[in-house]
Amino acid sequence: MDRLKGKTALITGAGSGIGRAGAMLFAREGAAVVVAEINPDSGERVAARIRDAGGRSLFVRTDVGDSESVRNTVAHAEETFGGVDILFTNAADVPLINLRDACATDLDEEVFDRIHRVILRGVFLCAKYAGQAMIRRGGGAMVFTGTVDAQIGCPGLDAYTAAKGGVLAMTRSLAAGLARYHIRVNAISPGFVATEPQAVFMDDPVSREQIQALHLLPVPPPEDVVPLALFLASDEARGITGSIHQVDAGYAAFKCAHIDVMESINRPSREREAHGRCESPPSS
Ligand SMILES: NC(=O)c1ccc[n+]([C@@H]2O[C@H](COP(=O)([O-])OP(=O)(O)OC[C@H]3O[C@@H](n4cnc5c(N)ncnc54)[C@H](O)[C@@H]3O)[C@@H](O)[C@H]2O)c1
């Protein structure tokens, strides 16, 4: 309890999945939470749940790919809670990635741009404007959610892995640039996480078995991923910056040479027909 007492956390994509689990956990640990989410229903629901539980939270409708929207969210955080101490980035259009990402040779350019707009440009804009607020505040901590797929490669996810790879690269250079302002920057890299948009795979027995086979431990719920983000966001991690931390149930620890990943996942059949040339597992 109280590991984030007195701090304000701006969490993107906090209406669902890892972002929502982070919002609930950070609030329980004493942070005021700004729920920065594009979906007003889910965003307001999370902020209300935090307030109902006695915490402090504000939903601000945010499109992380839009500069004005991100500036507005940071301004609301400063007005309402006095500043931004923590940025935890999770926003992603996971259904778009799962359905439309592909090998570069088959990838629509518009899909590539849409994925990069939310994931890489989104993290850039949030780091820029939340970072400026942290400089005004005298310090802070950023935690970016990456993916092991950007570290070990994954067929059929070229837009997603490139965008997340950019986020992981920026983690290091930004940490170097912001250390003088007492701002730490780290990333977490999950494997597969059982969040809502992944239910389409986890609810299918064949896909579920294949996904599980890629991990050493049970595929985790988002609640098992966010304690690492909490630690990195807290002052307990005061000596850690510029690093990427796997929270992947063993996904990256061994090579699944016996698993043909490209063939293994049961994508919905209509998608397989539509994107038959370059099948991929769901994003992680
Ligand atoms: N679930 C996994 O298997 C997994 C694995 C590794 C990494 N990740 C990463 O974790 C993060 C969260 O994934 P999740 O599974 O919790 O997804 P999710 O769909 O449950 O949550 C993502 C949230 O982002 C919001 N969002 C989408 N576009 C937005 C925008 N432009 N501005 C603001 N919000 C926007 C969505 O509305 C949604 O609420 C993503 O960055 C994802 O790439 C997920």
CATH of residue 114: 3.40.50.720
Provide the 3-class DSSP secondary structure of residue 276: coil
Res 267 pLDDT > 70: no
Contact predicate 282/98, CB 8 Å: yes
Q: Report if residue 139 sits inside a domain.
A: yes
pLDDT single digits (tens) 128-151:
999 999 999 999 999 999 999 999
The residue segments making up the domain with residue 40 are 8-197+219-250
Q: Please give the positions annotated as active site.
A: 160
* pLDDT confidence bin for 280, thresholds 50/70/90: low
In short, whether 171's Cβ falls inside 6 Å of ligand 1 is no
Q: Which of 121, 171, 195 to mutate to test the pocket of ligand 1 (most atoms within 8 A of CB)?
A: 195
Domain count, the chain: 1
In short, whether 98's Cβ falls inside 6 Å of ligand 1 is no
Ligand 1 atom with the shortest distance to the CA of 65 = 31
Q: Report if residue 68 sits inside a domain.
A: yes
pLDDT single digits (tens) 198-234:
998 899 998 899 899 889 999 999 999 999 999 999 9
Mean pLDDT of the chain: 92
Q: Are strands 86-89 and 57-61 parallel, antiparallel or unpaired?
A: unpaired
Ligand 1 atom with the shortest distance to the CA of 283 = 3
* pLDDT confidence bin for 263, thresholds 50/70/90: low
Res 282 pLDDT > 80: no
Alpha-carbon distance 120 to 139, whole Å? 23
* pLDDT confidence bin for 1, thresholds 50/70/90: confident
Residue 68: the pLDDT is 98
Q: Report if residue 276 sits inside a domain.
A: no
User: What is the separation, in whole angstroms, between the first and last Cα of the chain?
Assistant: 30
Q: Report if residue 135 sits inside a domain.
A: yes
Res 109 pLDDT > 80: yes
Q: Report if residue 257 sits inside a domain.
A: no
Q: Report if residue 67 sits inside a domain.
A: yes
Q: Report if residue 266 sits inside a domain.
A: no
Q: Which of 16, 119, 148, 226 to mutate to test the pocket of ligand 1 (most atoms within 8 A of CB)?
A: 16
Residue 274: the pLDDT is 46
Query: Average pLDDT for residues 148-164, to the nearest whole number?
Result: 94
d(CA 52, ligand 1 centre) in Å: 24
Res 259 pLDDT > 80: no
pLDDT single digits (tens) 80-103:
999 999 999 999 999 999 999 999
Hey, what are 102's tokens? 């592909």
Alpha-carbon distance 95 to 103, whole Å? 17
Contact predicate 59/77, CB 8 Å: no
| Alpha helices (H) in the chain, listed in sequence order | 17-28, 40-52, 67-81, 94-100, 109-116, 122-137, 149-152, 158-178, 199-202, 205-213, 226-233, 261-264, 269-274
Q: Report if residue 132 sits inside a domain.
A: yes
